[in-house]
Chains A and B, each alone.
Chain A
Amino acid sequence: MAAPAYPAWVTRWVSGQWRNKKRPPVFRPSRPLALADKVANRREQAAEATCITEMSVMMACWKQNDFNDAACAEEIRMFYDCVAKAEEERKNENEDTLSSRGNLPSSKVNKLLKRFPQITRYV
């Protein structure tokens, strides 16, 4: 005779797990299963330094031309442009849009969530 195919509850009953209190987990939540209106406070990661490539190009040019500014005028102009652009972006980003990395700080998320709270009970 091959291994007899008993239903699963029979095997479990026979092994005595139910009497040893190994019952299936019953979940009794203490609070309603709804998302809270706030996010945990996460420390905002520091942004990266801007204009590093332009700066290194300019410094390489300086090294070649013995720190003569007239010879490196093009690189210096590019560096200034990059710095102006970064400054402009930095000024404009402090609103309710995503940061350069693509994530919102937790304080702003909390403000938005407070405006649209989770409805836990209906009247």
Chain B
Amino acid sequence: MAAPSAAGLGRRLRAWLPRMVQVRWSRYSPSYLEPEAKKELYEKPLEELTEEEKEKMELKAVQPIKAAPPTLSSSVFNDPMISKFTNMMMKSGNKVLARSLMAQTLEAIKRKQLEKYHKAPENEKETIECNPYVIFHQALKNCQPIIGLSNITKGGKTYQVPVPLKDNRKRFLAMKWLITECRENKHRRTLMPEKLSQELLLAFNNEGPIIKRKHVLHKMAEANRAYAHFRWW
């Protein structure tokens, strides 16, 4: 008698306090499938599909599909990393501004690289990378820390223990460092695309303050390597 009333109470409480209770799980039932955005999958003729793909297609005829989020797109220009970065740059929901800043950043990178390309002598022209997307991805990859520190309390004292990081966490840290570096440590009058393009080009060449911050983190992890046994996972 206590168990069903407790569950009912919880639901009623959650309905009454919609913003004060954490609602982080998905409202979809587990039978709902993810929407598929890639056009190539639909253009393939039936014979070329593998067994699992055929099964998936049959399942789609029967199971319901979740609503597509606005960021999901089948365009060739859609890049999940760039979308994530734009969302992190966005302030108070101003996606228009964040997207335009991102576009201006990529344009600025392209301009700088083209300038370097045209000034360079013939033999060096192949080494200069002009594709801003390639530069963006490589710079982010160079900024990702390999090992992180986490606070573990043992015997009343908190220690900084070196800990392996998940991929999502690494990407998040790289993007966060990039954005905070550009927002705080630059001259007030420089615009964000200018600052970002500068930082991205430096990170692409493994120089600059963000790479330095990553090295500082690695050095601290290396100094604290004796505490690595405090981990239990």
Contact = CB atoms under 8 A, between A and B. Distances in A.
Contact of B225 (A46, A48, A56, A86): A56
A63 interface: yes
A70 B148 CA distance: 19
Contacts of B215: 67
Interface in B219-233: 219, 221-222, 225, 228-233
Interface string B159-181: 00010100000000000000000
A115 to B, nearest CB: 23
B229 A62 contact: no
Contacts of B206: 69-70
Contacts of B146: 58, 69, 76, 79
Contact of B147 (A46, A55, A90): A55
Contacts of A63: 222
B99 interface: no
Nearest to B216: A67
A65 to B, nearest CB: 12
A59 interface: yes
A52 B221 CA distance: 13
Nearest to B211: A69
A109 interface: no
A51 B146 CA distance: 13
B133 to A, nearest CB: 22
Interface residues of B, number: 18
A48 B230 CA distance: 8
B231 A67 contact: no
Given A69-B146, A79-B146, A59 B233 contact: no
A58 B215 CA distance: 14
Nearest to B217: A67
A62 B228 contact: no
A50 B222 contact: no
Contact of A79 (B164, B218, B232, B233): B164
A47 B232 CA distance: 5
B222 A49 contact: no
B194 to A, nearest CB: 27
A59 B222 contact: yes
A62 B222 contact: yes
A88 to B, nearest CB: 13
Interface of B: 142, 146-147, 162, 164, 206, 215, 218-219, 221-222, 225, 228-233
Given A48-B232, A62-B222, 10 more contacts: A49-B229, A49-B231, A49-B232, A50-B231, A59-B221, A62-B218, A69-B142, A69-B146, A76-B146, A79-B147
20 contacts: A47-B233, A48-B232, A49-B228, A49-B231, A49-B233, A50-B233, A52-B229, A55-B162, A56-B225, A56-B228, A58-B146, A62-B218, A62-B222, A63-B222, A67-B219, A69-B142, A69-B206, A79-B146, A79-B147, A86-B233
A-B complex: 8 closest residue pairs judged by Cβ atoms: A49-B231, A46-B232, A83-B164, A59-B222, A67-B215, A47-B232, A67-B218, A49-B229
